[in-house]
Amino acid sequence: MNPGQPTEPQQYQHPPVWQGAPQSPAPYGYMPPQTVYVQAPPEPKNGLALTALIMGIVGLLFCLVPITGMAVGGPLSIVAIILGGVGISRANKGRATNKKTAVWGLVLGLLCFVAATADAVIVVTALNHVSNCLDATSNALNHLNDPGAQNAQDQACK
């Protein structure tokens, strides 16, 4: 070796691997133990109950405003009722573990449905009143010289 020449890196050598004693064949009629695979029970599917609960809560929030309660809260309440019922059914069959969540989703869905129905009644009543008032105003404008038409318009818009 020359002092200016780089040296070759030394290779690491693995120690010999012990193989153990040689295996003798199994005696006649003897079966070696076999691996048994046990399938784990399926995980509970709790998504429907949680979705029903969320739909019921969101639907009730939309029902605080009459027009959105009728347009958005109503459909959400129907979804919450259906998913809550299916969630309760799954919990009764043992395929889900959150029966209380499913029951609350169903209850909130029913409350949301009642609130959406009340919102629809409020909106229809208000629109009917506005329509009657506009009709009476139109009639009063058509009969400006008739004092009876003004009284009819005042009665319709109260």
Q: Flag whether 127 is in a domain.
A: yes
Q: Flag whether 41 is in a domain.
A: no
Task: Please give the torsion angle defined by the CA atoms of residues 51, 56, 58 and 61, in that order, rounded to the nearest 10 degrees.
Answer: -170
What is the rounded distance in angstroms from the CA atom of residue 88 to the CA atom of residue 102? Answer: 5
Q: Flag whether 32 is in a domain.
A: no
- pLDDT tens for 146-155 read 666 556 656 6
Q: Flag whether 55 is in a domain.
A: yes
Q: Flag whether 82 is in a domain.
A: yes
Q: Flag whether 119 is in a domain.
A: yes
- Between residues 54 and 42, which one has the greater pLDDT? 54
Q: Flag whether 10 is in a domain.
A: no
**What is the pLDDT, as a whole number, of residue 46?**
85
Query: Can you tell me which residue has the tokens 């008032």?
Result: 133
What total of structural domains would you count in the chain?
1
**What is the pLDDT, as a whole number, of residue 13?**
63
- pLDDT tens for 45-91 read 889 999 999 999 999 999 999 899 999 999 999 999 999 999 999 99
Task: Tell me the pLDDT of the chain averaged across its residues.
Answer: 82
What is the rounded distance in angstroms from the CA atom of residue 114 to the CA atom of residue 77? Answer: 9
Tell me which residue range forms the domain holding 53.
Answer: 47-156
Does residue 63 contact residue 69 with C-beta atoms inside 8 Å? yes
What is the rounded distance in angstroms from the CA atom of residue 87 to the CA atom of residue 82? Answer: 9
